[in-house]
Structure 1
Amino acid sequence: MNFLLSIAFVLCWSSGFIGAKLGAGSASAVTILMWRFLPLAVILIVVATVRRTSWRGLAVRDVARQAMIGVLSQSGYLLTVYYAIQLGVSSGTTALIDGVQPLVAGALAGPLLRQYVSRKQWLGLCLGVSGAAVVTMADAAARTGVAWWAYLIPFLGMFSLIAATFLESRSRARVAPAVSMTVHCATSAVAFVALAVSAGAATPPAELSFWVAITWLVALSTFGGYGLYWLILRRSGVTKVNTLMFLMTPVTAVWGALMFGESFGPQTALGLALGLAAVVVVHRGATSSTRVRAGDTVGGEAARPATRPHGPWQST
């Protein structure tokens, strides 16, 4: 089941970069994001009103925390990704820059979440970064006319998503996925409506391609990618699930090459191979380290398991 969820997550999350590229030709980033989240938020709020059981026991501070997580993980992250693509950064390169996230998250998981990161996992993380770097250099060399600072924008989104991940992990309240999705989408809808109205970009274009992109983003990226992101984090832990982010770069690069004719050569293929190797190494490292800890003994008695963090991302 975890393997199938991982495949679905990689494909759905990668679809977000492709959907952003689809919509970039007909509207600005804030217009796309406004119409992606506004109808979705209305639907989710109606469903939440009918099904109130998931909201029982939640304090106001719990909802406020989820709203902040929504601002970081959706509003901040997506706005930077869409804006970078609008400026001309390719979907593959944008995904690649976000691919640095697992290394940063892995480095912070120990001191902040008290999650064990083995040497094999570190090796896998470094392999993944190497694969992402190979794809980035190949893509940057093939594109001209894009300002150098445009490549820095996705880094802001990467740090925004990491901040959201650790903010949620520090919470002691366990929030149902349906509740968190509703709060996140409603918060993003408010933020993007305000941005679009202030920029005079609230009116959607009449092109069919725009609405195709919106449907694509809602179905695949939001419900698929974003929903699976939180689900897999809760099942597998922050280090293992973030390793899957290494696959976003090569998968998006292949997808972008097929749909938009973006460059895909030997270097991109090498990056894909390194990304796959990174996932294998990290997951095997996690499995072997679990066996070692389970078999360790202290004074003839089984050693206690490592302290697990509070929140939904306890390793299972």
Structure 2
Amino acid sequence: MALTLLLVIFLVIKNRLRWVGWRVAFFNMLIGLLAHGVWLTCVLFALDNNVPAGIIALVVALQPMATGALAGLVTGERTNIFQWIGLILGFSGILVTVGFRIDFGSYQSVFGYLIPLLSVAGITIASLIQRRADIYDKGEKLPLDLTLFYQSLATTVVVFFPAVFVENLYTEWEPVFIYTMIWLILAVSLGAYGLMWLLIERLETTKVASLFYLGPPVTMLMAWLAFGDTIKWMDITGLAIVLVGVIFTQFNNSKTKIANS
């Protein structure tokens, strides 16, 4: 909600806030609903239901492989052998990094394991249909700020009802909450999320998706720097495997085969 308000203020100041038509608005709101609403809501819902963070990270790490498997069908961009090797290596690195931390016996609900899968489905579908539109749709391409506005607007509508009827819009305005919101809005929703769409516009979805493998290892390093968390040799090993996997995924010896529209 705060992100949408900030974008409205920015677009009004820049005199760029405008109605783009039902077709374009619906498309961007659908992307936002899947990529931001479904993905983030399911991750937070899983955490709220006490699903171990390691399990969530492991399940969400399936997203690059799902993207690689479906990219050829949806966008016409074939995933080559080097990229498949990279995707498998990347997932193996995540498995090494978080796998030894997971106590599977501590969580018995099958439903809990399925929640993060919805996150995978949401972000995978959104990135693929956005990439397909970037390749084949010759219509107007919205600037990033206007795109993010329509996407965040859809997410706001979705999360508004749970916020009202489940939490009664109750918020504890503590420093930790404020700092967290600033980080989520500026670094995550505007920075990382906006950068993801810029990359999808320019690169194959498989290449962009492989960067998601860097999430858990980078989080591990940030926790070490910020909170003094212990880094184990398995963490370093997993990070090295992930880096090799991401490098492999960027290789493409032949020109991307784009299917006829």
1:139 aligns to what SS in structure 2?
coil
Q: Which amino acid aligns with 2:149?
A: T
Normalised TM-score (structure 1) = 0.72
- 1:30-49 maps to which residues of 2 (within 5 A)? 38-49=1-12
- 1:1-16 maps to which residues of 2 (within 5 A)? none
Please report the RMSD computed on the Cα atoms of aligned residues, expressed in angstroms. 2.5
Tell me if 1:110 matches 2:72: yes
C-alpha separation in 2, matches of 1:263 and 1:121 = 32
2:26 corresponds to: 64
Q: Which amino acid aligns with 2:4?
A: A
Q: Which amino acid aligns with 2:203?
A: S
Q: CA deviation at 1:201?
A: 3.8
Q: Which amino acid aligns with 1:42?
A: L
Query: Which of 91, 115, 137 pairs up with 2:99?
Result: 137
Q: Which amino acid aligns with 2:6?
A: I
Structure 1 portions without partners, runs of 5+: 1-37, 291-304, 311-316
2:42 corresponds to: 80
Tell me if 1:306 matches 2:254: no
Tell me if 1:163 matches 2:161: no
C-alpha separation in 1, matches of 2:231 and 2:117 = 23
Normalised TM-score (structure 2) = 0.86
Is contact 1:93–1:249 with CA below 8 Å preserved after alignment? no
Q: Which amino acid aligns with 1:39?
A: A
2:236 corresponds to: 269
Residue-by-residue CA offset, 1:159-180 (whole Å, 9 max, x unaligned): 1111111232343243321121
Cα distance 1:40–1:165, how it changes in 2: closer, same or farther (>3 A)? same
Q: CA deviation at 1:51?
A: 4.2
1:158 aligns to what SS in structure 2?
helix
Residue-by-residue CA offset, 1:182-212 (whole Å, 9 max, x unaligned): 0111111222121110113412103211111
1:97 corresponds to: 59
Is contact 1:115–1:309 with CA below 8 Å preserved after alignment? no
Q: CA deviation at 1:260?
A: 5.5
C-alpha separation in 2, matches of 1:139 and 1:263 = 12
Aligned length: 255
1:240 corresponds to: 207
Is contact 1:90–1:262 with CA below 8 Å preserved after alignment? no
Structure 2 portions without partners, runs of 5+: none
Q: CA deviation at 1:95?
A: 3.2
Q: Which amino acid aligns with 2:10?
A: V
Query: Which of 160, 169, 175 pairs up with 1:193?
Result: 160
Residue-by-residue CA offset, 1:65-121 (whole Å, 9 max, x unaligned): 111111111111101111223334455553332221111101101111110322111
Cα distance 1:277–1:242, how it changes in 2: closer, same or farther (>3 A)? same
Q: Which amino acid aligns with 1:230?
A: W
Quick one: percent identity of the two aligned structures? 26
1:128 corresponds to: 90
Tell me if 1:231 matches 2:182: no
1:222 corresponds to: 189
Is contact 1:91–1:252 with CA below 8 Å preserved after alignment? no
Residue-by-residue CA offset, 1:96-149 (whole Å, 9 max, x unaligned): 3222111110110111111032211111111111112222321204x8744554
Is contact 1:105–1:242 with CA below 8 Å preserved after alignment? yes
Tell me if 1:249 matches 2:200: no
1:306 aligns to what SS in structure 2?
coil
Tell me if 1:184 matches 2:151: yes
C-alpha separation in 2, matches of 1:258 and 1:148 = 34
